[in-house]
Amino acid sequence: MHPQEVFCPNETCLARGQIGQGNLSIHSQQERRYKCNVCSQTFAETKGPPFYRAHKLHAEMVIVITLLVYGCPVQAIVAALGWDERTVKRVQEEAGGHCQEVHEHLVEQPRDLQHVQADEIWVKAQGMILWLAMALQVETRLWWGAVVGQQRDKTLLRALLQRVRAGALCRPLLFCVDGFSAYVKTIRDTFRASIPTGKPGRPCLRPWDGIKIAQVIKQYRGRRVVGVVQRIYQGTATQIAALIRVSQGHGGINTAYIERLNATFRSRLASLVRRGRGLVQQLPTLHAGVYLVGTVYNFCAYHDSLRVELRLPQQRRRWLRRTPAIAAGITDHLWSVGELLWYQVPKPPVLPKHRGRPSLAFLELKKQWLG
């Protein structure tokens, strides 16, 4: 047990989310419980991750989640391990919710994105068709997130682009998308900033500088692609070529990287297969499966196109393999699925409302832990 590597999960504790501050001690080595010296509460070592209060072995749960991530059918897991099908789906939803918290905490942070590709996938659901929109940073192949909607419209695109905008620095940024006409206006409306004037009323909105928009329109004859048209809606060809050269090294305007990522998701989620019998029974199951696959793609799998050559004197040619998270500078090593599931996301405390004047002791603790 390592008290310096965990934090107090008590929501009302002033030291919640503080790691390595010396406020935790070992309460019971046998029961594997910690104690917080600030709120005097004890908690189990597994508090927080999907393993909390689980009646299955942790190693077996990691195996099940790994199989789900790489496309193993639920029926095969039930037949091989003897689990109940509802237990498998519950573990998948809990792991997916945990992976979404990790993704939002580590990935969706301000970054110089430079080149982003976005696309949508239609999903077969029970009695309806859903749409899954995803975005990808080209330079690091970092999966940026996904949103699910019932229709392929501006509302779906706006929800996706707002996630991109929340983590994008106001620097030159290229969007390469498909031929869906709603992309251009939605990108222009989303990437705007208010101009404070000091007067009452809604301030004016000013577009971001350096936003470039390019579309790849595929021409079909039947079900076959017979031609591709590249159109530039914002920016010049020279500016777009410079951003493409920095982000992907070579090539022109394309959506190849997001389409390859779509193929990865299709191979691992049965409901995304083009001609299959898999259906989405419940929306939380799809949402959890998408974030589970996407977070493992970012942290737990090497990407061949991201490897860099190590130039060592008088030695054979060697390569440094990297994941999208390593290429983006989020981590420095390949994560295992178990490490991903054990990672605890620190959260700020939620202080309850008190009537009257707070005590001097409470104010002193608040100043010490919250500044």
Rounded to the nearest 10°, the torsion over CA 145, 303, 244, 262 is: -50
| Range from 112-126, 256-270, 300-314 carrying the lowest mean pLDDT | 300-314
d(CA 285, CA 125): 11
- CATH entry 3.30.70.1070 includes domain 111-193+206-303: no
Average pLDDT over residues 190-208: 83
pLDDT of residue 361: 76
Go through the chain and tell me how many residues it has.
Answer: 371
Q: Apex CA 285: angle with CA 280 and CA 288, to 5°?
A: 135
Provide the greatest CA pair distance for the chain.
76
pLDDT digit string (tens) for 139-193?
A: 999 999 999 988 888 999 999 999 999 989 888 999 999 888 899 999 999 998 8
pLDDT digits (tens, 9 = 90+) for 342-366: 888 887 777 777 777 777 777 777 7
pLDDT exceeds 90 at position 219 = no
Residue 365: which residues within 8 A CB-CB, separation 6 or more?
14, 38
Angstrom distances, CA of residue 315 to CA of 280, 312, 319, 346: 52, 6, 12, 43
Residue 314 scores a pLDDT above 70: no
pLDDT at 244 exceeding the cut of 70: yes
User: Under a CB-based contact definition with an 8 Å cutoff, are residues 123 and 132 in contact?
Assistant: yes
Residue-wise pLDDT tens digits, 322-342: 999 999 999 999 999 999 988
Q: Which residues pair with 145 in a beta bridge?
A: 135
Mean pLDDT of the chain: 86
User: Of 23 and 220, which is predicted with more confidence?
Assistant: 220
Least confident residue range of 25-34, 123-132, 151-160, 310-319 = 310-319
pLDDT value for 63 = 92
How far CA 335 is from CA of 111, 301, 322, 330, in Å, comes to 21, 8, 11, 11
Q: What is the pLDDT of residues 46-57, one digit of tens each?
A: 777 787 777 788
What's the Rg (C-alpha) of the chain? 24
Q: Indicate the pairing of strand 303-310 with strand 318-322.
A: antiparallel
Torsion of CA 91, 97, 100, 105, to 10 degrees: -110
**Cα 56 to Cα 84: distance, rounded to the nearest angstrom:** 12
pLDDT > 70: what percent of the chain?
Answer: 99
Q: What is the pLDDT, as a whole number, of residue 117?
A: 93
Q: Residue 4 pLDDT > 80, yes or no?
A: no
- Across the range 92-99, mean pLDDT stands at 90
Share of the chain above pLDDT 90, in %: 31
Structure tokens at 176: 């390469």
Mean local confidence (pLDDT), 76-99: 90
Contact in structure between 310 and 319 (CB atoms under 8 Å): yes
Three-state SS at 132: strand
pLDDT of residue 104: 92
The pLDDT score that the predictor gives to residue 52 is 74
Q: Which of 227-231, 277-281, 314-318, 325-329 has the lowest mean pLDDT?
A: 314-318
Q: What's the whole-model pTM score?
A: 0.86
